Amino acid sequence: MGAPRRDYEAIAPANSFVHVDDFAGPRQLADYLRLLSDNDTLYNEYFAWRAADTTWSSVDVRYWCRLCALLHWRDDVDYVSWYDDYRTTTM
């Protein structure tokens, strides 16, 4: 259910993501995601880093989405590739 927490922590601002390992199981994660969906204040706490952290505030986060899409896209394959560590992956 996703990359290890340490991978997210290596590239994402603190408190900017929800990680599956923070929950006892899928039900608890789903309940929390529903809570976030219904609670704008709680949801927006995940974006507080934009105002507080000057290191990340100038980063265009769309870059990471594009990078991931490029890493996973191939004409001849209809499955998703997996990389244990994006820093050591060769193409």
The alpha carbon of 18 is separated from its chain's Cα centroid by a whole number of angstroms, namely 7
Q: State the pTM of this model.
A: 0.57
Counted residue by residue, the chain has a size of: 91
Sign of the four-CA dihedral 67, 71, 9, 35: positive
Mean pLDDT of the chain: 78
Q: What is the pLDDT of residues 61-80, one digit of tens each?
A: 666 677 777 766 665 656 55
| The two three-digit tokens of residue 81, written as one number | 């590739």
Whether the predicted pLDDT of 46 surpasses 50: yes
Confidence of residue 91 (pLDDT cuts 50, 70, 90): very low
How far apart are alpha carbons 5 and 74 in whole angstroms? 27
How far apart are alpha carbons 76 and 73 in whole angstroms? 9
Place of tokens 């980063």: 59
